[in-house]
Structure 1
Amino acid sequence: MQGVLGVFHHLDSTVSAIEELKKKKLGDVTVFSPTIRHELDDAIAGPNSVVRRFTLIGGLLGVSFGYWIAIWSSNYWPLVTGGKAIASWIPYTIIGFEVMVLVGALSTVAGMFINSRVPRLTATVGYDDRFSAGHFGVFIACDATKASAAEDLLRHAGAEEVRREA
């Protein structure tokens, strides 16, 4: 993947560069930050995560399995007391809830790993060690025709360093 990388020292200039790049539609923007900053999240305005679907499906499967296993075990080894029903849903709600939380949490973790593509076997294009020490980075994946416009925009926004990456 080729593109242009801009290294910023200040958060405000990074946010303004991202907003300008989004307006110009020069390419896909990747942002590197030493910490989580909500200003960057607002500037990127990415799509909602699909991990919550993993949580919903896992929770529904977990509660269904929790009720099923409790009812199955009651029917397989019946304990008849005073003519009451063998399987009643009210006491099994606790088991259903606990299994729902367990399977929902495990599916959330699995969805997070699947969507973040962990483990990443290749190096991230555009990453610099300074991004872990306090600087911000903006990488624009674009072809050579748009690279000069992206370089000018990043320099105008206040980037300390602008370079092409291949």
Structure 2
Amino acid sequence: MRGVTGAFHELDTTVAAIEDLKKKRLGDVTVYSPTIRHELDHAIDAPVSVVRRFTLVGGLLGVSFGYWIAIWSSNYWPLVVGGKAFASWIPYTIIGFEVMVLVGALSTVAGMFINSRIPRLTTTTGYDARFSGGYFGIFIACDAAKADQAEALLREHGAAEVRREA
């Protein structure tokens, strides 16, 4: 993938560069950070993650299965106790809740792996090892025509290093 990578020392200059890049629409912006910073999240303004849908579907399937397995087992191996109902929802709520939590958590983890495309077997274009140790990085995926503008914008905002990726 072609583009331009910029390395920044300061968070404020990185945020300002991201905001300008978003306004000018030079290409897709990927940001690398050594730590989680909410300022970067606000600047990127990414769409809401779909992982919560995995959690919802997993939780609903889990609670349904939990109730079903409890009712099925009490019907298959009946315990006759003086005319009481064989499937009472009150004691089965505990089993339903526990299975809901288990399946919901497992589907959340699966959703995170699926959406983050893990495992990634190749190195990401634009990544530099310094971005894990103190520098903030911005990679703009753009063609050669917009690469000059992206380079100039990153230098204008005080990038410590700017380089083109082929």
Amino acid of the residue matched to residue 75 of structure 1?
Answer: N
Counterpart of 1:34?
34
| Partner deviation per Cα, 1:106-156 (whole Å, 9 max, x = no partner) | 000010011111100111001111111100000000000100000010000
| Structure 2: stretches of 5+ with no match in the other structure | none
Which 4+ runs in 1 deviate beyond 2 A? none
Counterpart of 1:158?
158
Matches within 5 A, 1:1-166: 1-166=1-166
CA distance in 1, matches of 2:85, 2:152: 76
Q: Secondary structure at the match of 1:122?
A: coil
CA distance in 2, matches of 1:109, 1:85: 38
| Structure 1: stretches of 5+ with no match in the other structure | none
CA distance in 2, matches of 1:153, 1:26: 10
Q: CA deviation at 1:34?
A: 0.5
Q: Secondary structure at the match of 1:164?
A: strand
- TM-score by length of structure 1 reads 0.99
CA distance in 1, matches of 2:113, 2:19: 29
Give aligned pairs, total.
166
Percent identity over the alignment is 82
Q: CA deviation at 1:20?
A: 0.1
Q: CA deviation at 1:17?
A: 0.2
